[in-house]
A and B are shown apart, each in its own frame.
Chain A
Amino acid sequence: MIAELGHYALVLALALGLIQAIAPIVGARAGDAALMRLANSTALMQFAFVAFSFAALTICYVNSDFSVANVFENSHSRMPLIYKITSVWGNHEGSMLLWVLILALFGALVAAFGSNLPATLKAYVLAVQSWIASAFYLFILLTSNPFLRLDQAPSEGRDLNPILQDPGLAIHPPLLYVGYVGFSLAFSFAIAALIEGRIDAAWARWVRPWTLAAWMFLTIGIAMGSYWAYYTLGWGGFWFWDPVENASFMPWLAGTALLHSAVVMEKRNALKIWTILLAILTFSLSLIGTFLVRSGVLTSVHAFATDPTRGVFILAILILFIGGGLTLFAWRAPMLKQGGIFAPISREGALVFNNLFLTTACLTVFVGTLYPLALEALTGDKISVGAPFFNLTFGPLFVALLFVVPFGPLLAWKRGDILGVAQRLMAAFAIGIVAVAATFAVENGQSVLAPFGVGLAFYVMAGSLIDLVERTGLFRLPLATVRMRAAGLPRSTWGTAVAHFGVAVSMLGIICAATWGSERIIALKPTQTVSISGYELSFDGIARRPGPNYESLIARFTVRHGAEVIGVMEPSKRTFSSRSMTTNEAALMTIGAGQLYLSLGDPNDDGALAIRLYYKPMVMLIWLGAVVMMLGGALSLSDRRLRVGAPKPAARSAMQAAE
């Protein structure tokens, strides 16, 4: 019964969605306030119904109701409760339901907290939001219904893919989806502005908090996914340039560009058309990401051709929204007035540079990800584009971008003094050069380029903080004054500095782990030892332990640093009988910011066990940097002028902050 109710609630949400897709526009055209207000109620009700539908599916999973085909295929009665719940989105149908749940949530948030939006703008935004929602409700109901029943209920389910039974995966997709779908609001605002043919600095102030929130979730979602892959896949890689990863990385790059161009629009009323285009592109890339991951087109163009219903449906959604959005843009954008002239060397100029490099980087990832598909579809030739290609093309772009990062916040609006800024950055240059020299002195010629990367990272870190140091008067003024000045600085200034600092922290982690990591691949018998980077591991023995729905084979290693025992590592292999699959559970030991990483291979005939052991220096900085970036976003979001629903005086303080 509960599955049918969930199904029914989704149909009702579709009906509400269709009403909301049309009524507010009619209202806005006719100046009918009641029709426009209708969208508020429908948006809230839509969210209620989708939430009910999602809850219904979750209940089916928790109760292990195997008469529901989706539950049968992805769950097992002996699975721990947490994985029963995460199985809801561990499959295609359920993950799409999660997608529309978040979409409806954002629509409801605009309805509930957008009271300071102009009535017509709000009506258009909610209508566009509902076009997207309706398209996806239809997609779920027609091609991916999670509520379908089986004729005869099997007694046991097929189990969730063991690789997905992991706490990291429990939270990774929802975070990622909040990011993806959050950009839908930027899209809806952009389309609404194009329909209205009017856009001003206030528009940017409404769009920025939503974009910023989406960006924060996407940042942490990507970082979580990367960490999950790192410890799950058993060979210590943290980024693979896999199409599925690229699918989430492209919206991040475009969204980062959007955040920066929206600043220019808000403060200087310039780059309007470009910002609108970026808003459309960012959500388009989110849609493409969904399409790439969900249609099966990545595995093979032929798989897509043999079972095309879903893929063709999503392709139609893509063409409708991306094509429609860009067509509307081409038609209406010329009507938008450009404002705010600025010299090439200025804060605006630096942000344009940021946008140029971020969008080019995004294009590089886009071309690299889709080129093999396009080439195969057009000529039948098969090529591969993998990590070596992306490292070679993406790397230089990002290095150039990072070099300019500290300049941006120090340059003045309209016309900046680049020599003056360079002088103010002297300390950062010096720190960078010292870092290069120190790294060269410490490493033993393993890499020529990496020390410069380390120098760049330190330069960006120092450069990000210089603005704060100067404005608070640190090292110059008495501490009490510094504290008062620090509290008085706009939170967005703190946010910028912290986020830029975080980028450099991640970069430092990537360079160190990739360059100076060490690796041992060896077959060991019990009581034998292996050493790596000054640590010695002795193999104590093997034990078997039953888990809730698997059997695990655990190897125990004692770790010593010098003579001192610093811990025990227990890598294991889990065998899931339900799917007759084995997963590798690597053992990790965090030492400072570095990690020892140990994973198991197969036992040899002579009783020895193959192991793979890594020492990855500074590897934790990669994800720590992402957390710092997110913190920067949160600080910026808490800035008074961006607070959602902030009262009118916010506009005045924003003008003061703009200097």
Chain B
Amino acid sequence: MHRLAAAALLFVLGTTAPSLAVQPDEMLKDPALEARARSLSSELRCLVCQNQSIDDSEAPLARDLRLLVRERLTQGDNDTQVLDYLVSRYGQFVLLRPRLEWQTILLWGLPPAALMAGIIGLLVTARRRSRLAVDATPLSRDEQQRLSTLVHRD
């Protein structure tokens, strides 16, 4: 069931023979540059796939993007420049880790905000409870007497 939809999409697109993601002929000679290309590739989305990075995808478009990333790297771009270039061509959609912008504030902000709210809520509750426990009015003299008679009755 896992890749059912992705498989269906492949089927619709008529990609009948899936091959490997990264092909031997795509790889750069310089191992350091190639390593950078691989780590960049895993941050970039294959635009026609369902939630796959171009590093994992078998679609022809992903191959084009992989080649593009390597081309930019060999021309001396740094990692940010490569990502900027791809975003300028394909939009934010191409990034698997969205940048922090006004429209992704909730995405990045909600989980830490929820954690903080939970911690604060728990601290407040704990404090209120301990204060309640301390504030519990002590027995009056009358009650003390009744208690001791009950305890010492037999």
Contacts and interface: CB of A to CB of B under 8 A. Distances in A.
A binds B: yes
Interface of A: 90, 95, 161, 163-164, 169, 172-173, 176, 225, 228-229, 232-235, 237, 240-245, 293, 298-299, 341, 343-344, 352, 356-357, 359-360, 363-364, 367-368, 371, 375, 379, 381-389, 392-393, 397, 521-523, 579-584, 599-602, 604, 610-612
B95 A384 contact: yes
Contacts of A360: 111, 114-115, 118
Interface in B48-81: 50-53, 56
Nearest to B17: A582
24 contacts: A161-B7, A232-B2, A235-B21, A243-B51, A244-B1, A244-B3, A245-B2, A343-B130, A352-B122, A357-B115, A367-B110, A367-B111, A379-B103, A381-B103, A382-B93, A383-B93, A386-B53, A387-B96, A388-B97, A389-B107, A521-B24, A582-B17, A582-B18, A612-B20
A384 B51 contact: yes
Given A359-B114, A384-B92, A392-B97, 13 more contacts: A242-B50, A299-B9, A356-B122, A357-B115, A379-B103, A382-B92, A383-B104, A384-B93, A389-B107, A583-B18, A601-B23, A602-B20, A610-B23
A357 B23 CA distance: 41
B16 interface: yes
Interface in B97-151: 97-98, 103-104, 106-108, 110-111, 114-115, 118-119, 122, 126, 129-130, 133
Contacts of B20: 234-235, 521, 599-602, 610-612
A573 to B, nearest CB: 8
A368 B107 CA distance: 7
Interface of B: 1-5, 7-9, 11, 16-25, 27, 42-43, 45, 50-53, 56, 91-98, 103-104, 106-108, 110-111, 114-115, 118-119, 122, 126, 129-130, 133
Contacts, number: 164
Contacts of B126: 343-344
Contacts of A176: 1
A397 B18 CA distance: 37
B38 to A, nearest CB: 9
A237 B56 contact: yes
A356 B115 contact: yes
A293 B111 contact: no
B17 A240 contact: no
A228 B3 CA distance: 10
Nearest to B91: A382
A440 B72 CA distance: 35
A579 B17 CA distance: 11
A30 B45 CA distance: 60
B137 to A, nearest CB: 17
Contacts of A581: 11, 16
Given A172-B1, A244-B5, A384 B19 contact: no
B103 A375 contact: yes
Contacts of B25: 523, 604
B22 to A, nearest CB: 6
A585 to B, nearest CB: 12
Contacts of A375: 103
Contacts of A359: 114, 118
A602 B98 CA distance: 34
Nearest to A173: B1
B133 A341 contact: yes
B2 A385 contact: no
A363 B114 contact: yes
Contacts of A579: 11
B25 to A, nearest CB: 7
A234 B7 CA distance: 13
Contacts of B115: 356-357, 360, 397
Contacts of B129: 341
A255 to B, nearest CB: 19
A232 B4 CA distance: 12
B53 A387 contact: yes
A386 B96 contact: yes
B8 A385 contact: no
B19 A610 contact: yes
Nearest to A352: B122
Nearest to B115: A360
B24 A371 contact: no
A521 B23 contact: yes
Nearest to B1: A173
A341 B125 CA distance: 11
A299 B50 contact: yes
Given A298-B5, A523-B25, A385 B107 contact: yes
**Looking at A164, A237, A386, which has the most chain B CB atoms within 10 Å of its CB?**
A386
B22 A521 contact: yes
